[in-house]
Structure 1
Amino acid sequence: VVGGLMAVIFRRSGQDRVDAAMALPKPDGVRPLGQIAIFFAAQVAILVFANWARPEDPSGAWFAIWRAKWWLTSAGAVLLGITLVRWYSLAAWKAVAIGVATAILALARPEHPELAFTAGVIGLAAVTARDQGELGQWFASSWGYAKQILPLLLGGVLIAGLLLGRPGQEGLIPSGWVETAVGGNGVAATLFASVAGAFMYFATLTEVPILQGLIGAGMGPGPSLALLLAGPALSLPNMIVIASVIGWKKTSVYIGLVVVMATVSGLIYGTFIA
């Protein structure tokens, strides 16, 4: 939505950029969009279904998905394996070996499906780490990001726990302060959460433990969603970087749209859904 509004507001400069891009020669070695979409869809399916939590209501579609979560995760893994073999030059016997080892472990210890999942991840990592081509670059990039993110994630969890505590246990920051600032689902609390989130810096994945601590300290559902939407989208450092590329005029409009959309989404969620 924000991207669409930016395109409408600055449609003239956007059209000039499109015309300039059309005049450039097409780069070599670019994969078809369909292959890229399937590759990422398989990974998203694995990520989503492997982490699917059990719903409180033991009926309905969400519960049915939870019961079939590991079958759905396996389907995503099979699709990923086929994609890697067909389009990314992974040897078929390596993919089959990983699949067979994972299946054997899943059948041997069905009460602990996470063991088979971990074995599949380790097997794929071992295979791609030894590859000298595109798969090796994929592993090197993923491992590089992991080394950057994990220390920040663990540090974020530790700091969030110390400052905000956990549900039922107060941290160094009194819960009353949090309830006063962002308690309930009012316009002021939701807008405050959106603006605060826009200027805060969240390292990748640290917004989850921080938000859990805030919710445990009394933050309302609407402001929670507003913070979760505005926080990863913006921060003071990336505002400066964005402005250096597109200018402060477009950056200011982008910041305003993110804050407004996060506030509106938080109000709708807090009022009608939560």
Structure 2
Amino acid sequence: MVNVSTTSYNCTNDEQRAEGLAHAQKAIAAKQVIVMPTDTVYGIAADAFSPQAVATLLAAKGRGRNMPPPVLIPRIGTMEGLATEIPDDARRLAEKYWPGPLTLIFHAQPSLTWDLGDTVGTVALRVPDEQLALDLLTLTGPLAVSSANRTGQPAAQTAQAAREQLAESVEVYLEAGFRPLAGTDGVPSTIIDATGPRLRLVREGAITLEEIRRMVPSALGHDEEPHMWEPSGSDSPVSLEKAAPEPAGTAQVEHAGAQSPEAASNTEQA
């Protein structure tokens, strides 16, 4: 049955932008999913604190709980309420690269009543460098966001491309033009695991490991081991020692999800 309320808004038009944001805010409050632009590709978004909404997001994409979505937040200060045991080095990276293409995996605040999937107690956070997304996040609060595509298909770089894959499973489509730029491919965010004794690269994206090490010289590459005298961090829920490369054809995601090593390295880019 077609969802007749599914609506697309041209957010390059001020009037439609305002209407689209209002409709998207109502949809999120009603535990529905929406599609919005990010600074990498388009993302499918749901209320991060609603298990029902997150389940709807995963079902729309055709993916399971083993690849939970990351969470987009409107400002760096929101990190304090969602994550715990935040290392100083990770905080410095957030201060430099947010808003921007950096995803940080932390231990989640244990008091939070959410269910993003099989996160084993972690959460992946990012502040996107996209004004429409930030305006929506300011209205809704943190959103679980994954790339707007069916799993295994190319990540959508317009809302129309997302609609061709997701159809009536989405309540609102916010169209704002090509992301990131017409004629270019989406580049995923760089993912850093901040749950162990040293920061570790999960996936190199728009920010290189070399750039990360200019600020945090001790940061480990995804295939590097700590010295013998250092704690291995193998008890970390997102220890990367088993991290697998992203399989060919997997849709890129601008932010990875907080989850197992395999899922973290295979996330898409939204």
TM-score bracket for the superposition, by shorter chain length: under 0.3
The structure showing larger relative contact order (alpha-carbon pairs under 8 Å, at least 6 residues apart) is 2
Greater share of strand = 2
Greater share of helix = 1
TM-score (normalised: structure 1): 0.19
